[in-house]
Amino acid sequence: MRALILHTDQFKSKTVEKSTRPEGIKSDPEGLGDREMQNGITVFFCVKKNDDSVKLNNLYNEILSAANDFKTQEIMIAPFAHLSNQTAEPKLAKKLYEELVLRFKETTFKIETSQFGYHKSLLLEIKGHPGSFRYREF
């Protein structure tokens, strides 16, 4: 599992169309639409082959640490297969994505998600302080 954790002033995404790759991907049923978040953490993450709930737990804890460091309650979860060329099968990737979102929805954090299985346009404004960009592998 790989993740890019960013302290952002602004995140905006707009779905363009359903993804057809990799074969077997199932797009979120919410469909097309915009997502937006101000002053929070944006987490781009990629599920790789053989990833599991243990690695997801490590990512969860890293996000909690970043939220504490950045003193924010706003978190955008954004699946981003482009972090690896060894991605998991879509079914596993979506399962772990949903598990991560659910874990945060059971907390006091305000969670937003960027749709799974869509091509999207993105607008990011990232803070420039030390530590505002964090790349992690689990």
Encode pLDDT of 48-65 as tens digits: 999 999 999 999 999 999
More confident residue, 98 or 17: 98
Q: Average pLDDT in the 2-11 region?
A: 97
Q: Domain boundaries in the chain?
A: 2-137
Instruction: Read off the pLDDT band of 14 (50, 70, 90).
Output: confident
Q: What is the pLDDT of residue 29?
A: 61
Burial of 70 (0-12, 13-18, 19+ CB in 10 A): buried
Domain 2-137 classified CATH 3.50.80.10?
yes
Q: Average pLDDT in the 82-90 region?
A: 82
Does residue 8 surpass a pLDDT of 80? yes
What are the backbone angles phi and psi of residue 61, rounded to the nearest 5°? Answer: -65, -35
CB 23 within 8 A of CB 138: no
Q: What is the pLDDT of residue 22?
A: 58
Q: Which long-range contacts (CB under 8 A, 24 or more apart) does 64-71 make?
A: 66/5, 66/7, 66/41, 66/134, 67/41, 67/109, 69/131, 70/7, 70/41, 70/132
Taking the model in full, what pTM does it have?
Answer: 0.87
What b-and-e string marks burial along 38-62, b requiring 16 or more CB atoms within 10 Å of the CB? eebbbbbbbbbeebeeebbeebbeb
Task: Retrieve residue 31's tokens.
Answer: 């469909």
Q: What is the pLDDT of residue 34?
A: 84
Instruction: Read off the pLDDT band of 30 (50, 70, 90).
Output: low
CB-based contacts of 97: which residues, under 8 Å, 6+ apart?
A: 45, 47, 77, 79, 116
The strand pair at 34-46 and 74-79 is best described as parallel
Instruction: Read off the pLDDT band of 131 (50, 70, 90).
Output: very high
pLDDT digits (tens, 9 = 90+) for 96-124: 989 999 999 999 999 998 877 677 888 99
Identity of the amino acid at 9: D
